[in-house]
Structure 1
Amino acid sequence: MKTSYNIALIGTGYIGKTHALAYQAVNSVFPDTPKLVKALVVDINEAAGRRFADQFGFQSFSTDWKDAINNPHIDIVSIATPNFLHKEMAIEALRAGKHVYCEKPLAVSIRDAEEMADAAITSKGLTLVGYNYLCNPILQHAAQLIQSGKIGKPLFFRGVNDEDYMADASVPHSWRCERKLAGPGTLGDLATHLISLSEFMVGEVASVSGHLYTAHSMRPDPNDKSSSKPVENDDVVSMVVEYANGAHGELSSSRIAWGRKNRLAFEIHGDKGSILFDQERLNEIELYCATDDAANQGFQKILAGPAHPAYSAFIQSTGHQLGFNDLKVIEVRNLLDGIAHGKPLYPSFADAIRVERVISSVLQSADTDKRVGV
């Protein structure tokens, strides 16, 4: 078993920084994990990229992402770029036998995502997709409660994922507004997390009825403030879903929800109880058990603590709180342990293609105004 792995990070933006922070922390938080060597960082902006490399201690820097593919010493290629760049980078890395750690969504279209998943099947490299909310110890515990039958058979999932980063109509047009660069809007950026969580908790989505809405159809051109450019994708998405196991669900997401910063929240109703969660309070769930004595029935708050695996690697006291970047550290730990021990990674490209198919079905449903099977 190798004791260290060299990683190349492509992209130094918002999500790239969360990766770099996790790379720095993973061996300190999880000392039994194989050593991660920050070998290369890639960005098309040379000045910004070199500053990033110095800031986070990467051994080398390049403006050409193919250097990450062609370097025989690179074991893992991490893709933290805009969505439209994922496909070519991931496929080339897999063909070169590299392990690939790619941010969500996989690609801008289901066809591109399927090509990526097919490339993973024939590669010796393992894959992991950055649905880091799935790494939250308290959500892992929630899933175990459901699997153990604590709330009985899941019957209904209601979830929302709202933010306000495009609520202001004066926010300039960007790549996120173009279908060829971003794919779907809120559906691909925010609702994708909600879909992944619902399938993780309840099971595979079998059919959807989806509706899309673009509130701000034009946005200011960042290069010419006297003109505007069309928004090609959705600001709001809602969907009614049916799961393969017979459960039902309602999922909605908005990127124009003033005051919402990261409200990834859900309720799961079973035939013997319920579980509630809100990402803005990411260290707790609420549990209601109908089998409790009537005098004691009520929602019980469960705080994350050392009893929930991975939490204790950060801190030994319940209720002292993990954060978003800590979830990324856990995700990187999972990546390294999986590679070192040849264990299946979750979610891999094969798992993430499920989410992409739900997204594709929602788009088809919205276009035809009909329920669509996944």
Structure 2
Amino acid sequence: MKQKFRIALIGTGYIGKTHALAYRSVNAVFPDLPELVADLVVDIDETAGRAFAAQFGFARFSTDWHDAVSDPEIDIIAIATPNHLHKDMAIEALRAGKHVYCEKPLAVTIEDSEAMAEAARNASGQTLVGYNYLCNPALQLARKMIESGRIGRPLFFRGVNDEDYMADPKTPHSWRCERAKAGAGTLGDLATHLISLSQFLMGDIVGVAGRTYTAHAKRPVASDQAAYRTVENDDVVSVLVEFEGGARGELSSSRIAWGRKNRLAFEIHGEKGTILFDQERLNELEIFETPEDADAQGFRKILIGPAHPPYGAFVQSTGHQLGFNDLKVIEVKNLIEGIANGSPCYPSFEDALKVEQVIDRVLNPQPGT
């Protein structure tokens, strides 16, 4: 009989929908995997939650996340809630022997993140954090190129993650503007992807010097445009970093960059070449390699296709493109494989803690830095 894992999803918002789509697709795309059963969905809004359960084929619904954690039939708890709710749900689930699949960032404070990582160290369940951009075959190829020496020793990483979802100063105040609910602003929402990506490609960050900036200090209240609330976290962040191998880097992120929709872009300069990537063109990777003849030098674009696994599991033709939701399917595949094989998932809570440590060093610089 084929092995099965039953999953409970807590949260039915934007990211919850990407989870639900991935649960429905993962066994169709990767038929040799154990079966993932969308068993239970949890949302405090009963009307919306029941509609979501029916839409995506969940067998059951609850308004109380404790029901998911205590249910002996559930193997995996997926947390797709606002950031400040992650810690208690994750720790209780781990203590109950569940595997935990949590969206980023890990938590809103370094103390909460450390508590989650400690709970994972003492638990039998696997953990995975939703940095699904790392599942892109283009980034897997970039890492392979670096490790094989295609561009020589990496010397410098320059990365940016910009969006414009809060560029308009009239955009209403939300939980994302509150330190207690969101933690850091751009730093914890967007730059966290950039930090995780840079460490995936370059190794751990060991030196940090950063500055944050809040461009719009107040935002209107959604229910009363004449009333305003204070924005408690950052709109823009700039960070200088040093990686464990000695390479240096510059990381910059903004949530007020008009015209930028998901510009998660980087360039890596090595002794013998350069690699370029931009998430807005997520099926392309560019590489410059120093040839013998100077007149033949130039960047070469690699279009991701079936030669770059697991692209071929989705489509057999180059140029037909993977998308954001496909990366989530790959992430869920990695989760199921890790649980089935008993091998650590990446990034685990321990890996994600390293991202939170960088964020904390930006927000709370040590004397002399």
The equivalent of 1:30 in structure 2 is 30
1:151-180 CA-partner distances (Å, limit 9, x unpaired): 000000000000000001111111000000
| Match runs of 1:58-73 below 5 Å | 58-73=58-73
Amino acid at match of 1:186: T
The equivalent of 2:162 in structure 1 is 162
The equivalent of 2:153 in structure 1 is 153
| Match runs of 1:190-269 below 5 Å | 190-269=190-269
CA contact (8 A) 1:38 1:58 kept: yes
Q: 1:292 deviation in Å?
A: 5.0
- Give me the whole-angstrom Cα distance separating, in 1, the residues matched to 2:281 and 2:355: 25
- Give me the whole-angstrom Cα distance separating, in 2, the residues matched to 1:292 and 1:278: 28
| Match runs of 1:120-131 below 5 Å | 120-131=120-131
Amino acid at match of 2:112: D
- Give me the whole-angstrom Cα distance separating, in 2, the residues matched to 1:170 and 1:369: 37
Cα gap change, 1:292 to 1:145, in 2 (>3 Å): farther
Cα gap change, 1:192 to 1:228, in 2 (>3 Å): same
The equivalent of 2:53 in structure 1 is 53
SS at structure 1 position matched to 2:259: coil
The equivalent of 1:178 in structure 2 is 178
- Give me the whole-angstrom Cα distance separating, in 1, the residues matched to 2:367 and 2:124: 42
Q: 1:347 deviation in Å?
A: 0.3
Q: Which runs of 5+ in 1 are unaligned?
A: none
- Give me the whole-angstrom Cα distance separating, in 1, the residues matched to 2:218 and 2:102: 31
CA contact (8 A) 2:2 2:35 kept: no
SS at structure 1 position matched to 2:156: strand
- The count of corresponding residues between Structure 1 and Structure 2 is 369
Q: 1:296 deviation in Å?
A: 2.2
- Give me the whole-angstrom Cα distance separating, in 2, the residues matched to 1:59 and 1:301: 45
Amino acid at match of 2:107: A
- Give me the whole-angstrom Cα distance separating, in 1, the residues matched to 2:138 and 2:267: 14
Amino acid at match of 2:247: A
Q: 1:294 deviation in Å?
A: 2.7
- Give me the whole-angstrom Cα distance separating, in 1, the residues matched to 2:295 and 2:255: 42
| Match runs of 1:265-344 below 5 Å | 265-344=265-344
SS at structure 1 position matched to 2:364: helix
- Give me the whole-angstrom Cα distance separating, in 2, the residues matched to 1:226 and 1:278: 39
Instruction: Determine if the alignment matches structure 1 residue 105 to structure 2 residue 111.
Output: no
Q: Which runs of 5+ in 2 are unaligned?
A: none
1:259-306 CA-partner distances (Å, limit 9, x unpaired): 000000000000100000000000011000014543322100001111
- Give me the whole-angstrom Cα distance separating, in 2, the residues matched to 1:330 and 1:48: 27
- Give me the whole-angstrom Cα distance separating, in 1, the residues matched to 2:68 and 2:312: 34
1:333-361 CA-partner distances (Å, limit 9, x unpaired): 00001100111100000111000000000
- Give me the whole-angstrom Cα distance separating, in 2, the residues matched to 1:184 and 1:292: 47
CA contact (8 A) 1:2 1:340 kept: no
Q: TM (normalized to structure 1)?
A: 0.97
Cα gap change, 1:183 to 1:71, in 2 (>3 Å): same
The equivalent of 2:141 in structure 1 is 141
CA contact (8 A) 1:161 1:263 kept: yes
1:218-250 CA-partner distances (Å, limit 9, x unpaired): 001123322100000000000111111110000
Q: 1:2 deviation in Å?
A: 6.7
- Give me the whole-angstrom Cα distance separating, in 1, the residues matched to 2:87 and 2:313: 34
- Give me the whole-angstrom Cα distance separating, in 1, the residues matched to 2:149 and 2:226: 59
- Give me the whole-angstrom Cα distance separating, in 2, the residues matched to 1:70 and 1:246: 46
- Give me the whole-angstrom Cα distance separating, in 2, the residues matched to 1:339 and 1:154: 33
The equivalent of 2:96 in structure 1 is 96
Bigger mean CA deviation after superposition, 224-233 or 350-359: 224-233
- Give me the whole-angstrom Cα distance separating, in 2, the residues matched to 1:227 and 1:153: 54
| Identical amino acids, percent of aligned pairs | 70
Q: 1:369 deviation in Å?
A: 8.1
